Amino acid sequence: MTVNYDIHADIIDIHYDRPKNRDVFFVDTNVWYWLTYSNASHTAKNYQTRDYPNYISKIRSVNSKLVRSNLILAELAHIIEDTEFRIYCDTKGIKPETYSKKEFRHNLLAERESVTIEIENSWIQVQQFSEWSPITIDETTENTFIADLKRYKLDGYDLFYLNTIKEVRQEKL
């Protein structure tokens, strides 16, 4: 079924946009994944591993600000581990639904070490490319999360990122 998007944002065509020095970009976890993870091509489409890194290069070339939330590390680690698990299953001829990620995580020490190295290498790059913007998760944030959950069609991470983006915009004004 085709997704019926209800978008509440300005859409920018990254093929034609020319970032300016004063611009501030909050970069989504998936873009960091495609930009920094060595095995991203296993799950990404060509445009994801070509167009997004090209746009990030444009942003960096004019010294625009790239911003990250500390929650991106958790989401990025989850996605990388999932990809590494699927790669392992593919190479061993195992159906992922018959072997748990917990078994993969706890029983295969060499694979676990490889996963943690991939996560660390990706995160080092994210840190080098972007500035940290703190996220506070308290009772007020929880209440905002629930209200935004009803208002926007976003997943949990993106709802917290939305709050971070709002805070960054306030700082910029």
The angle formed by the CA atoms of residues 142, 29 and 14, to the nearest 5 degrees, is 120
Q: What CATH class does 24-172 carry?
A: alpha beta
pLDDT value, residue 157: 86
pLDDT value, residue 166: 77
The domain locations on the chain are 24-172
Give the residue carrying structure tokens 């190295």.
Answer: 117
| Amino acid, res. 126 | V
pLDDT value, residue 20: 95
Confidence (pTM): 0.84
Q: Which residues of the chain have pLDDT under 70?
A: 8, 169-173
Q: Which residues of 12-47 are buried (b: 16+ CB within 10 A; e: fewer)?
A: eeeeeeebeeeebbbbbbbbbbbbbbeebeebbeee
pLDDT value, residue 173: 44
